[in-house]
Amino acid sequence: MKRALVTGGSGGLGSCIARRLAVDGLLVYVHGHAHPDRAEAVCHSINAADGNAESVCFDVRDGGASRAALEALLERGPIQVLVNNAGVHEDAPLVSMEPDQWRRVVDVTLLGFYNVTQPLLLPMIRERWGRIISISSVAGVIGNRGQVNYAAAKAGLHGATKALALELASRGITVNAIAPGIIGGTEAEALFDADTIRRLVPMGRAGRPEEIADLVAWLVSGDSGYISGQVINVNGAMA
């Protein structure tokens, strides 16, 4: 049984991704930090549906805590699938943005990418098979007012994805990013009312978390093994 780690798996999109991977037969480690009870609830729902899930809690910004938690999981076997989904918003115009607002958003996304991804690479390389998928945002593609920190973090994730894909291309490991637009049931949707969504999104609606989770599941499948280093936009034709 392959193992998957979904960071930010206690949130709306992360939990949908975790449930989808469990349906496909993976043992899913559902990561949480601020809300460990939510991670446990996601695991309970997966296990109640005859899936396999366990919760793991740590701050992705903390390198020592991340490594300790991951090493404990790796003692039980390699983690072949990683979904870097953890992310936060601290929105404000740059002119009034506080240093902590910049630092927290960038650190969760980019330092978190390093802290979680790096310890898993050697076990994946030994397996000569792996799937690394990072959840980005349309803001990292086209920008967004009030989200200079968030857009910068996500655009940095795109560069990391492309570079790491080159490093791992000969090892049977693919590395891709998904850049969703406005997705229902997430913080992004909460920022916009229905009229604004219809104005911003050519398709006139928010996306569904399942539409992202299905793409993650396909990128994990064997049929996607020639796709790597890509940033895949899923945003109703916004970009």
Q: Is the dihedral of CA 164, 169, 172, 177 positive or negative?
A: positive
Q: Residues with Cβ < 8 Å from 197, sequence gap 6 or more?
A: 182, 189, 204, 205, 206
Known catalytic membership, residue 226: no
Helix (H, G, I), strand (E, B) or coil at 184: coil
Q: Which of 29, 114, 150, 226 is catalytic?
A: 150
For residue 206, the 8-state DSSP code is: P
Does the CA dihedral 12-89-67-120 come out positive or negative? positive
Distance (Å, rounded) from C-alpha 220 to C-alpha 83?
10
Helix (H, G, I), strand (E, B) or coil at 168: helix
Distance CA 140, CA 231 (A): 10
Residue 98, amino acid? E
Q: In what order do the strands lie in the sheet with 3-6?
A: 52-57, 27-32, 3-6, 81-84, 130-135, 173-180, 231-234
Q: What residues are annotated to the active site?
A: 150
